Structure 1
């Protein structure tokens, strides 16, 4: 039996798609036959033929509008939107360290880019009666770390709730909305963190990984999730093979979340 995902010629936008799981998702979609646009604040000067790059700051309304305009102008429409952008710059120290400014940064980084891009790109999806939106959340909205991820986790929880509401509104119009909730992903940044922790603790890289896994309460799989594994899940979910899947959240965390 062939397992062609049916993505040939589909027009996709991946935010935060130059590094880590975002870059892996862009590559996977392109390999499956999609025409892919990637946006980030800093991008390569030239595309690869199947991947085009758009430089923009999605933390602003103007940046989101610019991306939407360029995608529509380049592709003539959009079939797939993968909102990968996210992250945290909040300081450790629990609730007392989170000023109004820090809270706003987390919301601007982890919620508003998805909200704004959906708002400007959904009309073209609705007009064609088809499309898929993936919002990448995080298991942190279920397992926040009080010392360091309270604001990030809250922003991702807001993204998750918004996604569910959006799916109920637009699924009857032919637009699927799906959430993907990763655990710890072994990106370059994660490797650097593990190496730093390992050095501070006088251990090796595997020991550094164990420090991180222990802070999460353990990962039954015994390792972080790989960027390509997250990308493969996203690629399946945006394909016609997943045509009946909408409004749900798919956790990919190696078993970190201890409940179903």
Structure 2
């Protein structure tokens, strides 16, 4: 089967939803899909500081079940259904220090944000994708899901590992319905939360930001490429995976980490 693509128009006629789409990786993905011709809806808890005329914003807190239902209603009313779902909402919200410092609340909040929110949204939007026998779902995970650092991101890493497993199982369940489900696992990426994490680590350790960044890279075994990823680099990978050029890809996890994972 020959597939010909114009990268500037290959998503024309497609409607995409990017969660957490106002900052960092989510914002870069929204921009990339727009450039490829898609109509892009972004959702986040709060409206972006600067209006973006390229995308359509709908406020929603995906850790709240009722907000997800309202989001689905607004999408159905304004756009009908979606073709591409980018589950990007997530983040590291728990303290470092290992199991002793993590309370039940820490674990529950991390799982709600990084796992349950994606499951909840998939469950809400998947039926219409199944009806039309097409769709692509991308779960934005993390290399932490394969390499947990007990003293930095234990609960976060566990939640992302669970997301990886869920995404793989879902891909198998819905493949026969014409729906592809793929996981993208970025490593350290220059997003506002990551830069804030580096800054806080530097402050608590009494070192400079650049030294804190180097120290964090050592924790993950080093980054052979010697730098963090730019959000646009992650977005370019996602742009390919949702395109017709990736039509035979599903169920896989794609790490984009500058070579940091010490495993095959």
TM-score by length of 2: 0.92
Tell me the CA shift for residue 89 of structure 1: 1.5
Look up the SS of the partner of 2:236 in the other structure.
helix
Q: For 2:116 and 2:232, how far apart are their aligned partners in 1?
A: 26
Look up the SS of the partner of 1:111 in the other structure.
helix
Matched, 1:213 2:226: no
The total of aligned residue pairs comes to: 260
Cα-to-partner distance string for 1:53-81 (whole Å, 9 max, x where unaligned): 01111111111111122122221111000
Matched, 1:106 2:110: yes
Cα-to-partner distance string for 1:30-74 (whole Å, 9 max, x where unaligned): 111110000100013886443000111111111111112212222
Give 1:1-150 correspondences, 5 Å limit.
3-4=6-7, 6-44=10-48, 48-150=52-154
Instruction: Select 2:185's aligned residue among 178, 181, 184.
Output: 181
Q: For 2:33 and 2:53, how far apart are their aligned partners in 1?
A: 13
Instruction: Select 1:240's aligned residue among 226, 231, 244.
Output: 244
Q: For 2:156 and 2:202, how far apart are their aligned partners in 1?
A: 25
Instruction: Select 1:152's aligned residue among 126, 150, 156.
Output: 156
Tell me the CA shift for residue 208 of structure 1: 3.0
Q: For 2:49 and 2:188, how far apart are their aligned partners in 1?
A: 30
* Counterpart contact for 1:197–1:211, Cα < 8 Å: no
Matched, 1:167 2:171: yes
Look up the SS of the partner of 1:225 in the other structure.
coil
Tell me the CA shift for residue 8 of structure 1: 1.1
Q: For 2:172 and 2:215, how far apart are their aligned partners in 1?
A: 40
Look up the SS of the partner of 1:181 in the other structure.
strand
- Structure 1, unmatched stretches of 5+, are none
Q: For 2:222 and 2:179, how far apart are their aligned partners in 1?
A: 36
Q: For 1:174 and 1:75, how far apart are their aligned partners in 2?
A: 21
Tell me the CA shift for residue 214 of structure 1: 1.3
Q: For 2:50 and 2:194, how far apart are their aligned partners in 1?
A: 27
RMSD: 1.9
Q: For 2:230 and 2:247, how far apart are their aligned partners in 1?
A: 25
Q: For 1:130 and 1:202, how far apart are their aligned partners in 2?
A: 52
Change (3 A) 1:201 1:108: closer
TM-score by length of 1: 0.94
